[in-house]
Amino acid sequence: MRRGLRPLVTSIGAHAILLSGAFIMVYPFLWMWRASVQSSGEVFGAMKNAPSTLESILANYGQALFQTPVLRFMLNGALMTGGILLFQVATTVTCAYALAKLEFRGKRVLLALVLLAITIPAQAPALPLYLGLAKLQLLDTYLAMMVPHLTSAFAIFLFRQFIRSFPEEILLAARLDGMTEIEIVTRIVVPSMLPAIAAFSIFSVTFHWNDLYWPMIVIHSIDLAPPTLGILFFRSQEGGDSFGPLMACATVVTAPLILVFIAAQKKFVQGVTMSGVK
Q: 10 falls in which pLDDT band (50, 70, 90)?
A: confident
Q: Is residue 150 part of a domain?
A: yes
Judge if 44 and 127 occupy the same domain.
Answer: no
Judge if 173 and 244 occupy the same domain.
Answer: yes
| Count of alpha carbons within 13 angstroms of residue 220, beta-carbon side | 4
Spatial neighbors of 73 by CB under 8 A, at least 6 apart, are 225, 226, 227, 229, 230, 231, 253
Give the model confidence (pLDDT) of 229-259 as tens digits. 998 888 776 545 678 888 888 899 998 888 8
Give the model confidence (pLDDT) of 71-81 as tens digits. 999 999 999 99
Residue 144: closest CA among 156, 126, 158: 126
Judge if 88 and 184 occupy the same domain.
Answer: yes
CATH number of the domain bearing residue 115: 1.10.3720.10
Give the model confidence (pLDDT) of 186-220 as tens digits. 999 999 888 889 889 988 999 999 999 999 999 99
Judge if 53 and 172 occupy the same domain.
Answer: no
Domain that holds residue 22: 2-58
Q: Return d(Cα 145, Cα 263) in angstroms, integer.
A: 27
If one counts the domains in the chain, the total is: 2
Judge if 53 and 115 occupy the same domain.
Answer: no
Q: Is residue 54 part of a domain?
A: yes
Residue 277: the pLDDT is 45
Q: Is residue 181 part of a domain?
A: yes
Judge if 219 and 250 occupy the same domain.
Answer: yes
Judge if 120 and 153 occupy the same domain.
Answer: yes
Judge if 69 and 12 occupy the same domain.
Answer: no
Judge if 118 and 187 occupy the same domain.
Answer: yes
Average pLDDT of the chain to the nearest whole number: 85
pLDDT at 177 exceeding the cut of 70: yes
Q: Is residue 278 part of a domain?
A: no
Give the model confidence (pLDDT) of 91-105 as tens digits. 999 999 999 998 889
Spatial neighbors of 61 by CB under 8 A, at least 6 apart, are 36, 248, 252
pLDDT at 55 exceeding the cut of 60: yes
Q: Which of 39, 58, 77 is the last residue of a domain?
A: 58
